[in-house]
Structure 1
Amino acid sequence: MTAYNDVFGARTRLDGAFGTVHYYRLDSVLKRGVDTLERLPFTVRIILENLLRNADGELIREDDILSLARWRPGQAASSNAEYPFLPGRVLMQDFTGVPAVADLAAMRSAVARMGGDPKKINPLVPADLVIDHSVQVDVFGTTNAFQFNVEREYERNKERYALLRWAQQAFSNFRVVPPGTGIVHQVNLEYLASVVMTKEENGEKVAFPDTLVGTDSHTTMVNGLGVLGWGVGGIEAEAVLLGQPLYLLTPEVIGMRLTGSLPEGTTATDLVLTVTQMLRKRGVVGKFVEFTGPGLSQLALADRATISNMSPEFGATATLFPVDAETLRYLRATGRSPELVELIERYTKEQGLFRTDDMVEPEFDDLLELDLSTIVPSLAGPRRPQDRVLMSELGKTFRTAYADRFSGSTPSTETAQGQTATATAQKGAAVLVKEENRPESVEIEVDGQKVTLQHGSVAIAAITSCTNTSNPSVMVAAGLVAKKAVEKGLKVNPAVKTSLAPGSRAVIDYLKNANLLPYLEQLRFNLVGYGCTTCIGNSGPLPEPVAQAIQDNDLVVASVLSGNRNFEGRIHPQVRASFLASPPLVVAYALAGTVDIDLTKEPLGVNDKGEEVYLRDIWPTQQEIQSIVTKTVTPEVFAENYAHVFEGDEHWQALSNSTGTLFEWDPESTYVREPPFFQGMANEPAPVKNIRGARVLAMLDDSITTDHISPAGSFAANSPAGQYLIEHGVQRRDFNTYGARRGNHEVMVRGTFGNIRLRNRLVPGKEGYYTVHLPSGEETTIYDASMRYQQEGTPLIVVAGKEYGSGSSRDWAAKGPLLLGIHAVIAESFERIHRSNLVGMGILPLQFRPGDSKESLGLTGHETFDIMGIEEGLKPRQEVTVRATREDGTSFEFTTIARLDSPIDVTYYKNGGILLTVLRRLMQEA
């Protein structure tokens, strides 16, 4: 977009080794009566620059710029201002990227059917897609695990990858990073992010802050680099790709001031889990968080990125660490060019976007303070990432969470080790044995060794995820713990499924250079792939004897992973408890074999000499860690690994590569089908109407995540999705995961609300994808009930509690409900991204008034509902009356708030969603 005559006189020139660039000076607003900029949070400054540079007098006006430049703490609560924001780029991963690309391909097909030019559907801003969510841990604990898992990945996903290969040639401004390279957010942090972007404008190069949106909620990881960006649903990302702005309300910015430094024996992960707990308790959903204070200079950039990564876990839109000297050091260390680093330093200092310890700290809507010296070793779980647990309290926390399994037993002060035999049994048989004051245990044979499983046994120990594997200090710490453990003679119980899945190839290189990888491998933490793996639910099958023992004896076993998500049913369907931990603690709990333990007092295990070995015996010092990081994490490591990042291996090169403007849909494909959202689309939307006679498909409680609504992991053969695939000739071993099947709406609609741990009040005492059809009272699956309701012409709603839709930025958590016939969701509160996704698919989010809930109103889910006031003319956050009619014919009314938060939300809702709005607009411009 060309600037509107530069009415502020903001455009100026900057020369250096990077050449000549032009930019729009933020301090130009001072000429228009703005007092000062230094009190503004850096977050607001970056958004302000976006407005200033893109001002055109129509979409962005002079008043918009001055309004934001006069931002004050507390202003957001009373302001109804709305600011168009034009991100500089879009970032995608394959689970969310494949359906987004399928939507774009379907939009091209729709435009062609309507007689338009399909090439009008093309990314107008640069987009990168990193394939990282599809590799599964089929094989582990061997040197050939990586090769086998990659080959199996291609075997499973060739249809999906063929779509992406087509998109590479069909769309301009679109790049794909092939499988086996790294995790999207780590690749972004180490390579894709430029901090300051440039583009050609009227024959001149213009510089501006790197901004983005991503189709993964952990896009915020790059905030640690000073880059403002956040996760959005795929449908919003597609709109941005097609040149549409995001509309931001006046930003509310919560400051977090750091002082001190981390004490010996703690890691960045301990800090992250503390911050997550603090901010979730404060309540920052939909708000921006920004770090400040002298403690920032004690925090390495990888530590900052680890915190920013967890923004979705505490609910913030973004978590910004401003550019400073540490940012420049990291950029040099990861192989960025000297010219780029000079441009970043010069530009950010000229613009007042460079932080120093002696600067005036910005003002915030609220300010929290944290002394880094108070951080202690921690984990989080067993079901939510914000539930921090002191390492010393882990055993007690586990027993409390699953108290029903420990009835009749009392916690022991000394916990038996997972590798100690506590039962006798015939070879290969699983026999329950009762111990005094201990839970039931079972002895099994794995890889020729007899081992014991009991409640709390560690079934999965995974060094995985973008959150921590991007951080050299914790990865080197894991390697040192492994080295010292091997030297002490400790081994990992063969019943533990171990895995090492770094976020980039650079990690393996520096672990090799430090001679630490062999020790991890001796503990069976072999490389299994470069991808999310366990954290996204791609943990693969447990060893058969372990899986059988869990199933036969209803054991509550645990996973310990260095990830960011541990929601119910996500990590593995047979693993009920999941704890987030630093990579070195993942190694430690793999050695211990149990989470029912206090590692501050109890030994990790006993070696062949009969010696007890404690965690303190093998924990490295910060000096040891830093010495290795300094020697081995070099610019050359990153430069070499990213030199050919878009080329791919022989598997990628061998994929079929279809060409053409339009994608050739295969009606027989079980992976990629043309989505139905644009078929039969009218040039003008039908008027919205009140919702009458609606039934409740699901009555849900608090903290329903997008994993509950649209699972990403594996699914059973007897599930509706499994039955669909079997009917289409797919063998059980080839099911893959829900995440990998997102290009096929027929699978995804059958998997909506398909989480095996979902608890629907309409079927009390039962878990899984079940409901009751009303008024017949027949118990059935949610999918089958939905199809029956739709045949009867009955609209559907969902009723829920607080934090509805927390977790991943999963557009299928809105697309699936739409296809199920859900017209509205009534909840006590919504997570930011999911609320937006619902609106983006034309589903009405309604929020109970403060103090109201399904309990206080006496709702049972057996009522019929009329939702009035929709067709009379919706306005942002309008009150909407809901009439509930009981089974006995009596009725009552209550008021809800329509969470259409802005005028553009109303427009999207009336059009049936964002994409239909954009498509109609493009057709009108043709």
Structure 2
Amino acid sequence: MSQILESNIRYYPIKQLKDRGYDVDSLPYSLKILVENTFRNLDNVKITEEDLDAIASWKTGKEFSFLPTRVVLQDYTGIPLLVDLAAMRDEMSKRGEDPLKINPIVQSDLIIDHSVQVDYYGTASSLLLNKKKEFERNVERYKFLKWAQRSFKNLRVFPPGKGIIHQINLEYLSKVVDVKEFRGQLTAYPEIVIGTDSHTPMTNGLGVLSWGVGGLEAEAVMLGEPYTMAVPEVVGVRLVGEIKEGVTPTDIVLYITEKLRKKGVVGKFVEFFGPSLGNLTVPDRATIANMAPEYGATASYFPIDYQTLNYLAATAREYKLVEKYAKAQGIFYESQPKYSEVVTIDLSEVEPAIAGPKNPDERVPLKDLKKLFQEKKDKKKGSLVKDLDVVLTAITSCTNTSNPTVMIGAGILAKKAIQHGIRSKSYVKTSMAPGSPVVVEYLKESGLLPYLEALGFHVVGFGCTTCIGNAGPLPKKIEEDVKSNKLEVYGVISGNRNYEGRINPYLSGVFLASPVLVVAFSLAGRIDIDFFNEPIDYDPNGNPVYLRDIWPTTKEISEYIKLGMNPEFYKAVYSHILEGDENWNNLQVKESELYSWDEKSTYIRMPPWISLDLKLDDVKNARILLLLGDKITTDHISPAGPIDKDSVAGKYLSELGEQDLNTYGARRGDHEVMLRGGFANSKLKNLLVDVQGGFTKHFPDGKVMSVYEASQQYKKEGVPLVIVAGKQYGSGSSRDWAAKVTALLGVKAVLAESFERIHRSNLVAMGVVPIEIPDWKSLGIKGDEIVNVYLKDLKPKSKVKVEFIKQDGSKVEVQGLARVDTNVELEYIKQGGILKYVFNKLIHESQN
């Protein structure tokens, strides 16, 4: 079946499948990669003929399995996963089995990038001080990771300060075509990467088929389980037209995000093609692919072409073998294949824009921005700031900091601003967190870094920072001014997420923008500006300075762009990527098969999943814990930002003597903290109560209490729980804790109009049944009903009866659609979740 590609390297040509009657030539490029994987791994044990037939015949909706080639993790999602593996080892040992049976089989890479916070900014020492603070806060977590690095095979841990997971994945880890020993022969194959961060699709811009999954699914794959999914529809996006002068890659991605979200591509693959495809560089493509979660696609694939090869060469990686393999295998871009449907995107229609104030798909053309605030006639004023001022601007996140075009553009705008004698407003918190140290190298080489620093955009860290909610506090005087005067102030960031309460609790909204516009807003200091007709500021002589006066031209950017694609920079940075700094190297960790749990720890705690009883049964006489509207995000369910001292989790930690409460993200290794943080987002709107935040009503007494307190009261009473919600439930980050906390709170089923892909699968992985029901408002649901859900005869995607019994005894009965989509998922539900399923399987294999 395998054939020689070159010298001693072999490969599995999928063209052989044409002899079996499969029309593989016409398949989308992304599906060809899945066909290769199932064809190569076919053993009729893990991967069967049925799997191959489902994907090679493109039987949309039919279940099939394959074996991802690599797993990427970041520390917020990766630590809970490794804590689970450590707990499994303990349980193995308790049962008299070999604990080393619990070990990653698939190559797994964890990048510590989510823990750095912007406590210090605007000075040359910001980077050093933030890193020092990061280690002070996270020493216990980092010791655990260092233990894991030494204890588990096939696990690489990248120390803090090395960059953002997705940029390291794009610039270094991804090979596009890998070569490893397979069945005794050196074999070439295309990579398929899954990750525990929803923005894993970023490397689709490099031709690596990749997408985000829940940490629980990733855990199973790491332990050797196939990944099972339904054969997807593939929407072809035909790119036409020329990009206008002044339009940035960020503008393009915000335009595509809006178009595809409206089109409806949730759970589908998106594949780009067309006459304008070749005009987009890999960094441009990565910017677009990164935002797949925001337009709902599972993957957003750019086929391998000459732009792919150019980028591999520019970043000091092998590209000749990639070209040879892709052309031999028929996955090198040449012509349009068949698609489920085709959407045309005309790049000439794209104009400068930002997105917000609450969601990434709320695109606002820059020329229309002022109109958003035209009804705001009377502005409240504080002593330092007023309504509609911008008080936070951050160049952050992998979305844009991977792209030299916009980073160099930001530097040029900063240079021109300095030359015109204008500066960032004194009340604006400014920061720059590049996704990779390479960015700093080319900004230094170009001579643009000093200009960014002169405007306050000093490097504050090499990590996710503001985009994940680690913006740090506003300056104390500004925060007090905003709070005491109840001011409506805003943030502008180059990130990919701006959900309510994520960036800073005192911001009324946050807009996503290119790094170039982020700098511009720091100069303007207000959100209600018409950049086309109003001056951004006045120079020292009183002359108006307009955005057009300082905006970087395409020609100016092109003069610097080659610096961003210098292979020597990439060689220098990545030659020591796995080496830690003095802080990391000084962490003393004892090597052992089993982790030494500290019962007093509030960061790393033995999780309860193996002992948790979540087996499938009818849900009888349940109460509604929360009644929610549309687009409830995983941030609403499981916050990642700072822990408020007055919150349930904050009070719990304070009672234990903790001084620095840190963030929910940093404490994901402690289920007791996370349980108390469930649905604790200050912006959550639970329609059972009038107060905003993590509160609900306990029934039948109607007493208002925290979500945590209500869940514990129901638990004492033996009352099961459900959640009722609207459309797009669980949108946002790939956060397995959003499902874990739901299960811990005692929720047996979530009833919603629709679910976002990753959170739906995470719920299933925790033994919680996601069920689609009609709009609850149309059913007359008030939230005080008793609920029965009949699940005993559950089958994949089957109808289930749901009863809402009102206080007067009347009944509303609906047929819900159980979103347990595959037979494998049904097994997860029956066994109480994916962790129990995998653990029981490993125990069985160990005993036989």
Could you state the TM-score of these two structures normalised by the residue count of structure 1? 0.90
* 2:382/2:482 contact within 8 Å kept: no
Q: Note the 1:203-352 alignment, pairs <5 A.
A: 203-336=184-317, 340-352=318-330
* 1:142/1:526 contact within 8 Å kept: yes
Match of 2:736 among 803, 811, 818: 811
CA distance in 2, matches of 1:656, 1:239: 30
SS of corresponding position for 2:809? coil
CA distance in 2, matches of 1:475, 1:38: 39
SS of corresponding position for 1:369? strand
Unpaired runs of at least 5, structure 2: none
Query: In structure 2, what is the equivalent of residue 12 of structure 1?
Result: 3
Query: In structure 1, what is the equivalent of residue 839 of structure 2?
Result: 919
Match of 1:32 among 5, 20, 26: 20
Q: Note the 1:390-401 alignment, pairs <5 A.
A: 390-398=365-373
Q: Note the 1:42-441 alignment, pairs <5 A.
A: 42-71=29-58, 76=60, 79=61, 81-336=62-317, 340-355=318-333, 359-398=334-373, 406=376, 409=377, 438-441=378-381
1:442 and 2:386 matched: no
Query: In structure 2, what is the equivalent of residue 745 of structure 1?
Result: 671
How much has 1:201 moved relative to structure 2?
2.3
Match of 1:778 among 703, 713, 721: 703
1:613 and 2:541 matched: no
SS of corresponding position for 1:442? coil
SS of corresponding position for 1:484? helix
* 1:839/1:913 contact within 8 Å kept: yes
Structure 1, residues 26-71: CA drift from partner, whole Å, max 9, x if none?
100111122x433210111011001100001233233432442233
* 2:382/2:487 contact within 8 Å kept: no
* 1:137/1:540 contact within 8 Å kept: yes
* 1:162/1:658 contact within 8 Å kept: no
SS of corresponding position for 2:533? coil
1:757 and 2:735 matched: no
CA distance in 2, matches of 1:540, 1:68: 46
Q: Which amino acid aligns with 1:694?
A: A
CA distance in 2, matches of 1:372, 1:511: 28
Structure 1, residues 567-615: CA drift from partner, whole Å, max 9, x if none?
0000111112100000000000010001111111111101111111000
SS of corresponding position for 1:717? coil
Q: Note the 1:897-912 alignment, pairs <5 A.
A: 897-912=817-832
Query: In structure 2, what is the equivalent of residue 721 of structure 1?
Result: 649
SS of corresponding position for 2:210? strand
Structure 1, residues 199-236: CA drift from partner, whole Å, max 9, x if none?
21243211100111100000000000000010011100
SS of corresponding position for 2:319? helix
CA distance in 2, matches of 1:920, 1:104: 14
CA distance in 2, matches of 1:900, 1:69: 24
Q: Which amino acid aligns with 2:632?
A: I
* 2:195/2:212 contact within 8 Å kept: yes
CA distance in 2, matches of 1:470, 1:59: 37
SS of corresponding position for 1:897? strand
How much has 1:116 moved relative to structure 2?
1.3
How much has 1:885 moved relative to structure 2?
1.2
Match of 2:580 among 623, 648, 652: 648
CA distance in 2, matches of 1:341, 1:819: 48
CA distance in 1, matches of 2:681, 2:53: 48
CA distance in 1, matches of 2:226, 2:194: 11
Q: Note the 1:539-688 alignment, pairs <5 A.
A: 539-679=471-611, 688=616
Aligned sequence identity (%): 50
1:514 and 2:446 matched: yes
Q: Which amino acid aligns with 1:103?
A: D
| Root mean square deviation, CA, Å | 1.2
Q: Which amino acid aligns with 1:370?
A: I
How much has 1:441 moved relative to structure 2?
1.7
Structure 1, residues 467-520: CA drift from partner, whole Å, max 9, x if none?
000000000000000000000000111110000000000000000000000000
Query: In structure 2, what is the equivalent of residue 527 of structure 1?
Result: 459
CA distance in 2, matches of 1:102, 1:60: 29
CA distance in 1, matches of 2:785, 2:623: 7
* 2:265/2:297 contact within 8 Å kept: yes
Unpaired runs of at least 5, structure 1: 1-9, 410-437, 445-452
* 2:54/2:64 contact within 8 Å kept: no
SS of corresponding position for 1:294? coil
Q: Note the 1:486-497 alignment, pairs <5 A.
A: 486-497=418-429
SS of corresponding position for 1:277? helix
CA pair 782-630 structure 1, distance change in 2 beyond 3 A: same
1:800 and 2:800 matched: no
Regions of 4+ moved over 3 Å: none
CA distance in 2, matches of 1:691, 1:14: 56
Bigger shift: residues 25-34 or 838-847: 25-34
How much has 1:632 moved relative to structure 2?
5.0
CA distance in 1, matches of 2:183, 2:674: 45
CA distance in 2, matches of 1:744, 1:827: 28
CA distance in 2, matches of 1:378, 1:245: 42
CA distance in 2, matches of 1:629, 1:382: 31
Q: Which amino acid aligns with 1:24?
A: Y
Query: In structure 2, what is the equivalent of residue 859 of structure 1?
Result: 781
Bigger shift: residues 885-894 or 256-265: 885-894
SS of corresponding position for 1:14? strand
Bigger shift: residues 629-638 or 207-216: 629-638
How much has 1:172 moved relative to structure 2?
0.4
How much has 1:861 moved relative to structure 2?
0.5
Bigger shift: residues 496-505 or 386-395: 386-395
CA distance in 2, matches of 1:774, 1:726: 30
CA pair 708-632 structure 1, distance change in 2 beyond 3 A: closer
* 2:439/2:564 contact within 8 Å kept: no
CA pair 69-119 structure 1, distance change in 2 beyond 3 A: same
CA distance in 1, matches of 2:425, 2:679: 36
How much has 1:342 moved relative to structure 2?
1.3
Query: In structure 2, what is the equivalent of residue 699 of structure 1?
Result: 627
* 1:39/1:363 contact within 8 Å kept: yes
* 1:709/1:752 contact within 8 Å kept: yes
CA distance in 1, matches of 2:303, 2:591: 43
Structure 1, residues 76-96: CA drift from partner, whole Å, max 9, x if none?
2xx5x2110210010000000
* 1:39/1:360 contact within 8 Å kept: no
Q: Which amino acid aligns with 2:382?
A: V
Structure 1, residues 233-260: CA drift from partner, whole Å, max 9, x if none?
1100000001111112122000100112
CA distance in 1, matches of 2:425, 2:671: 41
SS of corresponding position for 1:38? helix
CA distance in 2, matches of 1:577, 1:32: 56
Query: In structure 2, what is the equivalent of residue 412 of structure 1?
Result: none
Query: In structure 1, what is the equivalent of residue 760 of structure 2?
Result: 835
